[in-house]
Structure 1
Amino acid sequence: MWRRSSYSNQEGGNCVEVADGLPGVVPVRDSKVPGGPALVFPAGSWSAFIDGLKSGRHRV
């Protein structure tokens, strides 16, 4: 099941969706193009990226 970023709004801003429930991987897609391609990241890499965003190591 795809879930949209909590920063997304009803106006369709620049947001991503991630899919849950797939062992070991995290698919990511553009919320504006739900039928388009998805990037698939190893779960550990995705977690490290999200942790980096939360800690301020990555600029957004």
Structure 2
Amino acid sequence: MSDFDAAAHVAHMETVMALTIDEAWLPSVVANMAATARAAALVMAFELDDHVEPAPVFEP
């Protein structure tokens, strides 16, 4: 995920979703998107066996 550009993604989604992000909030939004992308990369990097299926019911 090293090639993910959080600032470009936020700018693109702002246009696609017809949002207006206040300039004062933009650095926080970009930082949040970058942190979310790093977390997603960790999840996606975890390999599962082909026979693993999701549990039908979550039980703590």
TM over 0.5: no
Which has the larger helix fraction?
2
Larger Rg: 2
Larger RCO of the pair (alpha carbons < 8 Å, separation 6+): 2
* TM-score normalised by structure 1 residue count: 0.31
Which has the larger strand fraction?
1
